[in-house]
Amino acid sequence: MSKRYDIIVLGLGSTGSSITYFLARKNASNVLAIDARCSGCGQTSRSSALIRLHYTNPVIRSMAIYSWRFWREFQDHTGCEYSVFTKTGIAFVGPEDYVDTMNEIVHDIRSKGIEAYLYDPTEFKKEVYKNFNEDGIAGVAWEPESGYGDPNTSVRCFIEYARKNGVDVLEYTSVKKLLREDSKLIGIETEDGVIKGEIFINALGVWCNDLLATIDKQLPIKYAREDVIYLENPGDIDGIPPGWGDLVYGFYSRPDGATKTLVGTLEAEYVDNYDEPGEYTTPPMDVVNKRMEIFTRRFPDMIKARPSSVIYGYYDVTPDWQPIIGYDNEIENLIHMVGLSGHGFKLAPAYGEVISDIALYGKSKMFNVDEFKIDRFYVGVSKHSKYKYGIIG
């Protein structure tokens, strides 16, 4: 006889592992969490993992604030041996027509008791960091307490906590098919047989449409490829740049430990196919040259930085670059937490909190996430960022 679970979490990246952790923390029983690879080995393993608060959407911003607090207190919440948060400070630099929005966001963050400032570029140079060229920048939204996370350790500790608290975790077990009867899912088929369930949580990231195809369903998700360049910092530079989101030139960067900096793009390069996320041993020079051109235009002293490697991964992007959260519109026991659109790592704690509530109590108690239901795409209500770059949210 096949085993039956109350809740089955599909996919154990930052999203599924956080959901699994929160289910365990809320004493959910009879839960299975399953992944085709090792947990955290999908797109999460490629993440630049910036943890910031600057979001134009107020609900996502409050989830970012909740998550930022959680990441900083990660060891207390999970009992993890290691800290997973590194503070670097993050500056968002924008042109004149973004300054009012930047100001609103900074005020809102400060109203929650968190440090945030809006500078003009000259003041920012005096007060915080000076080695950049001001071209096109009218405002700098500075979050001194933001930084970046450690995706692999976070996922490992979420899963360890869940296992210790009674969740069954199956890794290296691919779900081949979803099993549907009328408007309900009844189980999943793996290489080892059928597993039955009551509630199913889709945290499959870029792979979700592959599995949904087995029940003739597709979500409005496109795939965007993201190459991230890792640089060896020059030894003789007067302070390396802090975390940086450049809404003028369209790139982001952050320190990576004491000796490296990584640089990514805010532009979307949509693709039809995604392979296993990977790493180039020999960096592709066209990508490196293009990215270095804008990065060193902003930070001329970094011209001496040496590209050491490039990694690439994929974003699961919705039409408005905001996530799909909540029950499916047709299948009554399927909950989605996908379409994270390239900014989903930092929000994993909030997503776990929300989805565990929806699975256990029918609705999210902490955040009103109704605007992120799948239905919005069928009634044409876009939640796009107020900025040109949707990934900023």
Ligand X SMILES: Cc1cc2nc3c(=O)[nH]c(=O)nc-3n(C[C@H](O)[C@H](O)[C@H](O)COP(=O)(O)OP(=O)(O)OC[C@H]3O[C@@H](n4cnc5c(N)ncnc54)[C@H](O)[C@@H]3O)c2cc1C
Secondary structure element (H or E) that encloses residue 25, with its range:
helix 14-25
* DSSP letter string, 243-308: EEEETTTTEEEEEETTTEEEEEESS-EEES-----EEESS--HHHHHHHHHHHHHH-GGGGG-EEE
Can you tell me the distance from the alpha carbon of 354 to that of 364, in angstroms, rounded to the nearest whole number? Answer: 5
DSSP state string for 342-363 = T--STTHHHHHHHHHHHHHHSS
Which of 288, 332, 336, 343 lies closest to 310, judged by CA? 288
- Regarding 320 and contact with ligand X (CB under 6 A), the answer is no
The answer to whether 9 and 22 have CB atoms below 8 angstroms apart is: no
Q: Is residue 245 near ligand X by the rule CB under 6 A?
A: no
SS3 215: helix
Q: Does residue 324 touch ligand X according to CB under 6 A? A: no
Residue 14 engages ligand X in binding (rule: CB under 6 A): yes
Spatial CB neighbours of 102, under 8 Å, sequence gap ≥ 6:
54, 92, 94, 118, 139, 141
**Please, which of residues 341-360 interact with ligand X by CB under 6 A?**
342-346
Question: Are 87 and 367 within 8 A, CB to CB?
Answer: no
Q: Is 211 in the site for ligand X (CB under 6 A)?
A: yes
Question: What distances in angstroms separate CA 96 from CA 139, 250, 297, one per listed residue?
Answer: 7, 15, 19
Q: Taking the complex as a whole, how short is the minimal distance between the CB of residue 298 and ligand X, in angstroms?
A: 18
Q: Which is nearer to ligand X, 191 or 370 (CB)?
A: 191
Q: Which two tokens stand for residue 239?
A: 């302070």
Nearest residue to ligand X, by Cβ distance, number only = 13
CA distance 349 to 376: 24
For 68, the enclosing helix (H) or strand (E) is: helix 58-72
238 vs 276, beta carbon nearer ligand X: 276
Selected from 8, 20, 32, 42, the binder of ligand X by CB under 6 A is 42
**Using rule CB under 6 A, residue 44 touches ligand X:** yes
Which of 346/376 has CB closer to ligand X?
A: 346
Q: Which of 226, 246, 256, 357 binds ligand X (CB under 6 A)?
A: 226
- Pick one of 314, 321, 327, 387: the residue that binds ligand X (CB under 6 A): 314
Task: Tell me: does residue 242 bind ligand X (CB under 6 A).
Answer: no
Cα–chain-centroid distance for residue 75?
Answer: 20
Which residue number, 132 or 252, has a Cβ lying nearer to ligand X?
252
Nearer to ligand X, 121 or 353 (CB): 353
| Shortest distance in whole angstroms from residue 45 CB to ligand X | 7
Read off the DSSP letter of residue 321: S
Nearer to ligand X, 316 or 357 (CB): 316
| Nearest CA-CA partner of 97 in 382, 320, 321, 388 | 388
Residues 131-170, mask of contacts with ligand X (x by CB under 6 A)? ----------------------------------------
User: Which residue in 4, 25, 26, 37 binds ligand X (CB under 6 A)?
Assistant: 37
Q: Which among 32-40, 215-223, 267-275, 358-366 is the span making contact with ligand X, rule CB under 6 A?
A: 32-40
Task: Give the separation between CA 10 and CA 28, rounded to whole angstroms.
Answer: 16
Question: How far is Cα 353 from Cα 343, in angstroms, rounded to an integer?
Answer: 17
CB of 125 to ligand X, least distance (A): 25
Q: Which residues pair with 147 in a beta bridge?
A: 51, 87
Q: 255: closest CA among 278, 239, 266?
A: 239
Residue 313 lies near ligand X (rule: CB under 6 A): yes
How many residues of this chain bind ligand X (CB under 6 A)? 39
Nearer to ligand X, 64 or 121 (CB): 64
State the nearest-atom distance from the C-beta of 95 to ligand X, in Å. 22
Residue 291 binds ligand X, judged by CB under 6 A: no
Minimum distance, C-beta of residue 349 to ligand X, in the bound complex (Å): 11
61 is a site residue for ligand X (CB under 6 A): no
Which stretch, 24-32, 160-168, 206-214, 377-385, contacts ligand X (CB under 6 A)? 206-214
Q: Does 67 bind ligand X (CB under 6 A)?
A: no
Note whether 387 binds ligand X by CB under 6 A.
no
Q: Which residues sit at the interface with ligand X, rule CB under 6 A?
A: 11-16, 34-37, 41-44, 46-50, 174-175, 203-207, 211, 226, 228, 264, 313-315, 340, 342-346
